[in-house]
A and B are shown apart, each in its own frame.
Chain A
Amino acid sequence: MADVALSGSALNQPRLARRMGGDAGIAWLLALPAILAYLAMILLPLLAVLALAFTDYEFGARSFHWIGLANFADMLSDRTFAASIRNTVIYCLFVAPLSIGIALGLAVLIEAGSRGKALYRAVFFLPVVSLTVAMATAWQYLLHPSIGPVNALLRMVGAGTPNWLGSSDWVIVSLGFIGVWENVGFNLVLFLAGLTAIPRELYAASEIDGARSGWSKFWLVTWPMLGPTMLFVIIITMTRSIRVFDTVQTLTQGGPNNASEVLLRTIYQEGFHYFKFGYSAAITLVFLVIVLGLMLIQTRLIDRRVHYG
């Protein structure tokens, strides 16, 4: 996990019994295929996006102009982009807390007993390995305004039957619910790993110290000991949910009336539908900056809090 990822970087490089000279050439040779692929598939395209963002290039055009920050200025008055940012933020703020809270609750419940551990874990994890487009289609049927079982159920209890994916009031909530459904299993497994890493003796000690209820043990031991895991889960969930695309593209195509337009779809739409590569690249940069910002928060906080144990 990330802790491992970050700790291993600069510390104690293995000392080698090296032969004279030879290593460097062979090392570069071994790394060459990866380096070439990296240059062609990651570094150069990244630089190209950086450059494109400051041009008015359109796909198929013979020429382009450097237009400075004009693309970014356009964003400020672009209502689709505004909707896209707003919806993405709402989506993240809906999906992250709910999927994390539910996952934590379920993880504690699973860990509290010995029955059914593997079964429940597998069931909750199932959405992570399922083809999103196909499952979105299944959700579309479940949420269908007239023939869907969800509304059939609501009709039975006499509640209202919203047009889940078709009304601009409900569409983000519905997509958010599907997002929660998709992410709970992933977070759950991370929490389970965090929970099993808590030494049993701490619970025994807390009991001796006078923590009578599960509630006080949770706040005295479980919650603080999950701190690093929690932080990791929050960032992972945010970076996963900011990249929402498949469900939106499958179910609503950003509609109705931009009510479910999200960042990645806007990039896709501007770039590959309207072929406005310059503008799309500029939005891509905004997306990248947000993702990098989240990563930065994570490294900062993990550095500060990792000294447990």
Chain B
Amino acid sequence: MQTRPLINDLPRLALLSLAALVVLAPYIWMVAVSVKPQDEVFKASLSLIPQKWALIENYGKVLKTIPIWTYIVNGLIVCFGILFFQVLFAVPAAYALAKLNFRGRELVFGFVMLGLLIPYQTTALPLYLGIHQLGLLNSYTALIAPFTCSVFAIFLFRQFFRAIPDDLINAARIDGMGEFSIVWRVIVPNAVPAATAFAIFSVVAHWNDLFWPLIVIQKGDLYTPAMGILAFRSVEAGEDYGALMAAALLVTAPLVLAFLFAQRRFIEGITMTGLKG
């Protein structure tokens, strides 16, 4: 396609830029307000640059009042813990479903498809009961365990493994590998693109989740970033928007920065796995 002259392209670009501005508005104001002192925030002016900078004051307040680093570390532990188990469980199962013939395979796959249809919020009540019975409320286990079996991961990896040629696996068998070594030495290295896509999908979903942490966590030192913001809002900060925006910015930044560095992979990962939303 030919690039048309810039002048003819301007209306299109103007329209898109306007829409982009609306989308970016909350980010712009989040950054602006996070460096404004409280009295300027309350003046309700439209100016973005503060007259008096309150960067230290606002961010200092966040760091002083809530253990925001703990929340972020919690978020990382939970997200990568979930991801670790999801991949650990899903890869061998997906391999069996994709490449091995066994009685009951159709049945197992049927259950995988069933699982795809069930939103995770459906099972919250019994899971809470079980975790309570085991005395595991307020623990990393409570945050991680319910998500260890991702039917979506099984499904995705199965589709991906089916494209790996049988001859490659047969060659590995002739070379003397057992099924377990085939999974970890032949299949996994070949599954990196699918795994990356799934990893991004999974981390984004669980970093942003609020529903489940809200249910199983009451203790502050196990708060995830999303809960941390909520707590900071309701208890400590009230209407101190400067500090609130500073906190919001700190917990939004990790994923947004990762996205900006690898946006193509993020977009592929999240939309390719969009099935589950």
A–B: direct contact at CB < 8 Å: yes
A contact residues vs B (CB 8 Å cutoff): 1-2, 4-5, 8-9, 13-19, 23-24, 26-28, 30-31, 33-35, 37-38, 40-46, 48-49, 52, 59, 102, 106, 109-110, 112-116, 118, 120-135, 137-139, 141-142, 144, 146-149, 151-153, 156, 181, 184-186, 189-190, 193, 236, 239-240, 243, 245-246, 249-250, 264, 267-268, 271-272, 277, 280-281, 284, 287-288, 291-292, 295
- Whether a CB of chain A sits under 8 angstroms from the CB of B93 is yes
A34 touches B93 (CB 8 A): yes
B102 touches A23 (CB 8 A): yes
Chain A residues near B22 (CB, 8 Å)? 181
Asked if B275 and A5 make an inter-chain contact with CB atoms under 8 angstroms apart, the answer reads yes
Q: List 26 A-B contacts (CB under 8 A).
A: A23-B101, A24-B103, A31-B96, A34-B149, A38-B115, A41-B149, A43-B111, A112-B12, A113-B9, A115-B6, A120-B16, A122-B263, A124-B23, A126-B24, A133-B230, A134-B251, A134-B252, A152-B45, A181-B22, A189-B271, A246-B211, A249-B210, A249-B230, A250-B230, A284-B122, A291-B119
Residues of B within 8 A of A134 (CB): 30, 225-226, 229, 247-249, 251-252
Residues on B with C-beta less than 8 A from A148 are 44
Q: Which residues of B contact A (CB under 8 A)?
A: 1, 3-4, 6, 9, 12-13, 15-16, 19-20, 22-27, 29-30, 33, 41-46, 85, 88-90, 92-93, 95-105, 108-109, 111, 113, 115, 117-119, 121-130, 145-149, 151, 154-155, 159, 162, 166, 170, 173, 179-180, 183, 204, 207-208, 210-211, 214-215, 225-227, 229-230, 233, 241, 244-245, 247-249, 251-252, 255-256, 258-260, 263-264, 266-267, 270-272, 274-275, 277
The binding surface of chain A is classed by DSSP as helix
Which of B98, B130, B154, B277 has the most chain A CB within a 10 Å cutoff?
B277
With a CB–CB cut-off of 8 A, which chain A residues contact B105?
A: 27
Do A236 and B274 have beta carbons less than 8 Å apart?
yes
Which residue of chain A is the closest to B270 with respect to CB atoms? A128
Contact B149 A42 (CB under 8 A): yes
Most chain A Cβ neighbours within 10 Å, of B3, B126, B263: B126
Nearest-CB residue, chain B, relative to A119:
B20
Q: In the complex, what's the smallest C-beta–C-beta distance from B121 to chain A, in angstroms?
A: 6
A17, B170: Cβ atoms closer than 8 Å:
yes
Q: Using Cβ atoms and an 8 Å threshold, which residues of chain A touch B88?
A: 33
Give the A-B pair count, Cβ closer than 8 A: 313
Alpha-carbon distance between A27 and B98 when the two chains are bound, in angstroms = 10
Q: Judge whether B102 and A24 touch: CB under 8 Å.
A: yes
Q: Is the interface of B mostly helix, strand, loop or mixed?
A: helix
Given A132-B208, A138-B30, A189-B267, A23 contacting B248 (CB threshold 8 A): no
B8 to chain A, nearest CB (A): 9
Cβ–Cβ contact B93 & A30, under 8 A:
yes
Nearest first, the 6 closest Cβ-Cβ pairs linking A and B are A37-B149, A45-B123, A34-B93, A48-B126, A134-B248, A45-B126
Kindly list chain A residues whose C-beta atoms are within 8 Å of the C-beta of B12. Answer: 109, 112-113
Given contacts A34-B154, A116-B13, A239-B119, 9 further A-B contacts (CB under 8 A): A19-B173, A27-B96, A34-B89, A42-B115, A141-B30, A148-B44, A149-B25, A153-B46, A250-B210
Output the nearest chain B residue to A8 by Cβ-Cβ distance: B159
- A contact residues around B101 at 8 Å (CB): 13, 16, 18, 23, 27
How distant is the Cα of A137 from the Cα of B65 in the complex, in angstroms?
Answer: 18
Q: How far is the CB of A179 from the nearest CB of chain B, in Å?
A: 13
Q: Which residues of A contact B25 (CB under 8 A)?
A: 142, 149
What is the CB-to-nearest-CB distance from B18 to chain A, in angstroms, rounded to a whole number?
A: 11
In the complex the two chains form, what is the Cα distance from A268 to B258 in whole Å? Answer: 32
